[in-house]
Amino acid sequence: MLLFSILFLIIGFFGLYFGAKYVIISLENIADRLNISHIMVGLTILSIGTSLPEIAVSILGGIDKILGIDPNIDGIVIGNKVGSFMTQITLIIGILAVSQPIFVSKWELRREGPMLFISVSVFLFFSLDGILSQLEALLMIIIYCIYLILVIWSEKHLQKIKRDSKYDEKERLDVVSFEPVKSPRKKSSTPRDIGIFVFGLIILIIAAEFTLLSAHDISKEFHIPENVIGIILVGLGTSLPELFADLTAIRRESFGIAVGDILGSNICDILLATGSGAIIVNFNVPMIILVFDIPVLFLSLFLAFYLLWTEKTLKRWEGGLLIGLYSVYVILKLTMFQI
């Protein structure tokens, strides 16, 4: 039984990765035809696309709970959002920096940095009573939509003034980030892209269900609280699309896409992905997440933001520091802060 659960979990992770990949491919092709800039793709299309595993887990978790398939799925779903955020802001960004120092502009840090803190603060505020209600979920989704509108407006504003070389130097702008993205794939038709999108979406839905049910079974088999499984195991698994997508972007020297995805995906995970499931049914938030995981998340966010802000480049040793922080967090979570 345990081997089957582990096998289905692995299949679920692969399905989440490939499902998200097919959706991203279709969206990238559409972005190519619409001449959307690199950073806009990173902050919107890629950040939402690579967050589809978290969104799918959240929605399927809400459906499973309301149908009674797994009434206690809350720990895995909520833990997944916190764990995914923590994984990306420390482990993923650390791996990217170790592979190659990451360049980031003042503009991005001033715009997305505060929103990262706001998104976690909103999540914490709504969770203080131990429940994320449907109304609170709706507000989280609305906040995310407002953020996207502001991103689109600010990106268009920046495109108008980016021709000023003095401004580029002052803000440390990566001018390539504002050039229209070109899909590395062959041109395809709109009907084909829609077909790829639907196919990827179907894979995501099936894989999310595999992931949830197998994670629940593993939690029972090892007598580990579901929030721990959600934070460490599912959180890591659903963060793999971000890792592979950003490594690919860095190899292509598309730093705007990589940085935009890291920042935008975390905002999407904590607001849109969480809200997408909680709008279906109320989710209970384990108290340990509020008293341990969220404070550590704030600490990690402060550290990552500080390292990015100094010299606007994340060096290899700083990436190693973030990876070390994630390792310490996992050890503490497993040994001292499960419930």
Per-residue confidence (pLDDT) for residue 42, from 0 to 100? 57
Q: Which residues pair with 284 in a beta bridge?
A: 131
Rg (CA), the chain: 19
Q: What is the largest CA-CA distance in the chain?
A: 63
Per-residue confidence (pLDDT) for residue 254, from 0 to 100? 59
Per-residue confidence (pLDDT) for residue 181, from 0 to 100? 47
Helix (H) or strand (E) holding 324: helix 316-335
- CATH number of the domain at 55, please: 1.20.1420.30
> Which burial class, exposed, middle or buried, applies to 223 when counting CB atoms under 10 A from its CB (0-12, 13-18, 19+)?
exposed
Q: What is the DSSP string of 209-268?
A: HHHHHHHHHHHHHHT--HHHIIIIIIHHHTTHHHHHHHHHHHHTT-HHHHHHHHHHHHHI
| Ordered mean pLDDT values, 10 residues apiece, the chain (339 residues) | 82 87 78 64 68 89 89 90 92 86 73 89 95 96 91 70 49 45 58 84 88 88 88 88 73 61 83 94 94 95 88 83 95 85
Segments forming the whole domain that contains residue 133: 2-335
Q: What total of structural domains would you count in the chain?
A: 1
